[in-house]
Amino acid sequence: MATKKFRLKIVTPTRLTVDKDVSMVIMQTIDGQIGVQAGHIPVVTVLDHGVLRYYDDEKIEQVAVFGGYAEINQKEVIVLAETAERPEDIDVERARQAKERANRYLAEQRAEMDTMRAKVALRKSLVRLELSGQPLTPDKK
Amino acid sequence: MATTRDIKGRIRSVTTTKKTTKAMNLVSSAKMARARGRLNAANPYFMLTRKTIGDIINGCVEIISAEDFPFFEGNRPLKKALVVAIANDRGLCGGYNANVTKKAAMVAAELSDDGKDVTFLTIGNKARDFLRRGGARIISHYGGISESPTVLDAQDIVKELVGLYEQGTVDEIHVVYTEFVSAITYVPKSIRMLPLSAGDFPPEEGHKAGLIKFEPSSTDVLTRVIPKYLSTTMYETLITSAASGQGATMTAMDSATENAENIIDNLTLVLNRVRQAAITQEISEIVGGANALE
């Protein structure tokens, strides 16, 4: 049975990343994951850096979304993000280096400002690695 | 009377000027094309942001009062206004900088007629120079970003603006910029960035402002989303100003090249006339001399 579809738009200041009809979207909000299907009540929510999945019939596609928020209304889901990356956009090597660098920073226990920045960097690199399908080694706390 | 050598010298000098203006024309048209590309790429983002923010604000004005959320109008009396003026870093762009600063001065005059205390924040060295000459009080300045502004530049500026607003240094913020219409047309405009009011976002025709749910809560959403919206607006004004600024430079340099061509044509005409006159004179002198010998 084909589920009812709705429009998904993911836009950033540099491009319109996604604009298509999908049957379900799962996104990472700052309060945890939410899944949206057609007919969802109107919601505005703030997104965490994370992987957004959407189902186009049987196909599942993924996009990493950074610094965004989403509006869900009767007709469509609009995701406005600072950056959005598809799996093929991701430089795995760079993400891995960023992750190691961030971990090193955190281990060194610097000033609070640096720690916060390193945590964000770590989070972003983990999202990128997740999206590129790399195995995530458990990170040491 | 000018000698042929003088005129040749002037033709040479105008030709060099023409080469320079021609080169500047090409450079700015390339830069304009780039800025325009970025503007077009960002356009869906700008439009959807405005729509979404409109939905959000219309959906929550009734539940959130200005006392709880200082970015909304009605939080405090508007006594101190800040005008953000965006112009080019350099001249040679026709009336562009003058038009923007004139608009900024007009906006400022209106605000001070309402009894408000007006200060300026300038973006682009020419905006600062022009306004300072007019005796304006400039509290902050950003140079070197007008030509190709980035999202990060916009975020930095908004951070300062929000800081000023939250400290109470300013009560309202207006942005004066130019809207890019086409390569040769731009329109100086002004918008009020802060405080926000639902009136700035009229609901679409036939679109009812339904009840919107906020996750996790309306204040959480607003405190995170509004700064993003302000950055987006700032980026939009910066990028459309950049495109129109380059367009103005391009047009100015194009007409400068054309003027140089006209001057060269006229000078060539004069040169030929002078040369001919000199030859005629020489011939009549020779003839006169020959006649005298007979």
Q: Which of B45, B212, B215 sits opposite A13 (nearest CB)?
A: B45
Distance from the A137 Cα atom to the nearest Cα atom in chain B, whole angstroms: 31
Q: Which helix (H) or strand (E) holds A66?
A: strand A59-72
Which residue stretches of chain B are H helix?
4-60, 96-113, 125-133, 151-167, 218-293
The answer on pLDDT for A135 being more than 60 is no
The answer on pLDDT for B16 being more than 90 is yes
Domain membership of residue A138 (yes or no) is no
Contact A44, A122 (CB under 8 A): no
Same-domain pairing of A103 and A77? no
Does A44 lie at the interface with B, CB-CB under 8 angstroms? yes
The answer on pLDDT for B183 being more than 70 is yes
Same-domain pairing of B136 and B50? yes
Residue A108's CATH number: 1.20.5
Write down the residue that tokens 């086409």 correspond to. B182
pLDDT score for B204: 62
pLDDT score for B19: 95
The answer on pLDDT for A140 being more than 60 is no
| B172-182: strand order across its sheet | B138-142, B117-123, B80-86, B172-182, B185-194
The answer on pLDDT for B254 being more than 90 is yes
Choose among B6, B3, B11, B9: nearest CA to B264.
B11
The answer on pLDDT for A138 being more than 80 is no
Task: Search chain B and give the residue with CA nearest A77.
Answer: B52
Show the domain range for A115: 90-131
Residue A139 binned pLDDT confidence (cut-offs 50, 70, 90):
very low
Show the domain range for B261: 4-23+253-293
The answer on pLDDT for A4 being more than 60 is yes
Same-domain pairing of A48 and A114? no
Cα–Cα distances (Å) from A5 to A54, A76, B153, in that order, read: 11, 9, 38
Does A9 lie at the interface with B, CB-CB under 8 angstroms? yes
pLDDT score for B276: 93
Residue A30's CATH number: 2.60.15.10
pLDDT score for B209: 54
- Mean pLDDT value across residues B264-268: 95
Choose among B44, B18, B150: nearest CA to A11.
B44
pLDDT score for B118: 92
Give pLDDT tens digits for A73-128. 888 899 999 888 888 888 888 888 888 888 887 777 666 667 777 778 888 888 88
Residue B19's CATH number: 1.10.287.80
Number of structural domains (chain B) is 2
More confident residue, B121 or B214: B121
pLDDT score for A1: 46
**Using CA atoms in the order A87, A88, A94, A97, what is the torsion angle rounded to 10 degrees?**
30
Contact B194, B167 (CB under 8 A): no
Structure pTM? 0.85
pLDDT score for B98: 92
pLDDT score for A141: 38
Same-domain pairing of B257 and B246? no
The pair of three-digit structure tokens given for residue A105, joined into one six-digit string: 């920073």
The answer on pLDDT for A29 being more than 50 is yes
Number of structural domains (chain A) is 2
Chain A residues within 8 A of B49 when measuring between CB atoms: 80
Write down the residue that tokens 């700015």 correspond to. B28
Distance from the B184 Cα atom to the nearest Cα atom in chain A, whole angstroms: 24
Same-domain pairing of A72 and A95? no
Q: Count the Cβ atoms, other than its own, within 10 Å of residue A74.
A: 11
Chain A residues within 8 A of B216 when measuring between CB atoms: 29-31, 45-46
User: How many cross-chain Cβ pairs, A to B, lie less than 8 Å apart?
Assistant: 80
Does A14 lie at the interface with B, CB-CB under 8 angstroms? yes
Mean pLDDT of chain B: 88
- Say which DSSP state B148 is in: S
Same-domain pairing of B77 and B143? yes
Chain B residues within 8 A of A67 when measuring between CB atoms: 228
Same-domain pairing of A94 and A80? no
Give pLDDT tens digits for B199-225. 777 766 555 556 778 877 888 888 888
Same-domain pairing of A59 and A76? yes
The answer on pLDDT for B72 being more than 50 is yes
How far is residue B183's CA from residue B68's CA, in Å, rounded to a whole number? 44
